[in-house]
């Protein structure tokens, strides 16, 4: 039951994360995600075959100490943005901010559940456990995504504070850093 809860909550949280990126991009002038049908709470359009299904399933099967996965990033067209230099960090910050918001809502939910003494105890425990998992997963998602290393959102946020030439070089390291980060995570 716990593995099922983790998978469902991770999929829900990753969906909210990606919708937040797409919605902020839409607010800043880029309707690419909206036109692609990606500003939706339906998790299916956000599923990426390898990152959302195959890798997590393989890690579960191998009883890996870490469950790793990701959702399909929302499509963006930076040329449609009002001010790309300022808008890109806002769009990237929206995902982790949505995870922090889910942590807050889950904590509030845990607090509220305590005030329903007539609520059947086993349901109360299941809800409490689900909210706890929601907090853990979303704290992890927020923290990992704020790491200023490509491909995480933090790498694009930090470029706002770097001179444009250095920011471009930094983002060009993406393929190499992704491989190094993946090796470090899998070797843990």
pLDDT, tens digit, 9 for 90 and up, residues 62-120: 887 777 778 999 999 999 999 998 999 999 999 999 999 999 999 999 888 877 776 66
Q: Which residues lie below 8 Å from residue 64, measured CB to CB, with a gap of 6+?
A: 186
pLDDT tens-digit readout, 24-45: 999 999 999 999 999 999 999 9
Could you tell me the pTM of the whole model? 0.88
Choose the weakest-confidence range: 3-7, 25-29, 139-143.
Answer: 3-7
Buried b (16+ CB within 10 A) or exposed e, 8-21: ebbbbbbbbbbbbb
CA dihedral defined by 12, 17, 18, 19, rounded to 10 degrees?
80
Active site residue 164: no
Cβ neighbours, 10 Å, residue 62: 8
What pLDDT score was predicted for residue 41?
96
pLDDT tens-digit readout, 143-156: 999 998 888 899 88
Domain segments of the chain as ranges: 2-146
Nearest in space to 179 (alpha carbons), one of 159, 153, 151, 158: 151
Assigned token pair, 45: 């359009």
From 18, 48, 120, 164, the catalytic residue: 18
Q: How far apart are CA 91 and CA 157, in angstroms?
A: 9
The overall average pLDDT reported for the chain is 88
Specify the 3-state DSSP secondary structure of 102.
helix
Question: What average pLDDT does this structure show over 153-177?
Answer: 86
């Amino acid at each position: 039951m716990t593995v099922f809860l983790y998978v469902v909550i991770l999929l829900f949280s990753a969906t909210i994360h990606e919708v937040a990126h797409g919605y902020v991009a839409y607010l800043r002038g880029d309707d690419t995600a909206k036109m692609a049908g990606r500003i939706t709470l339906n998790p299916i359009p956000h599923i990426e075959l390898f990152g959302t299904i195959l890798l997590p399933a393989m890690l579960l099967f191998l009883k890996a100490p870490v469950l790793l996965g990701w959702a399909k990033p929302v499509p963006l067209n930076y040329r449609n943005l009002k001010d790309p230099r300022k808008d890109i960090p806002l769009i990237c910050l929206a995902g982790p901010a949505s995870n922090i918001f889910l942590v807050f809502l889950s904590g509030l939910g845990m607090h509220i559940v305590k005030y329903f003494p007539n609520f059947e105890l086993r349901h109360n425990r299941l809800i409490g456990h689900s909210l706890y998992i929601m907090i853990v997963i979303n704290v992890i998602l927020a923290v990992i995504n704020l790491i200023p290393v490509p491909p995480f959102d933090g790498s694009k946020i930090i470029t706002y504070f770097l001179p444009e030439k250095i920011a471009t070089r930094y983002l060009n390291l993406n393929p190499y850093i992704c491989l190094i980060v993946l090796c470090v995570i899998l070797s843990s």
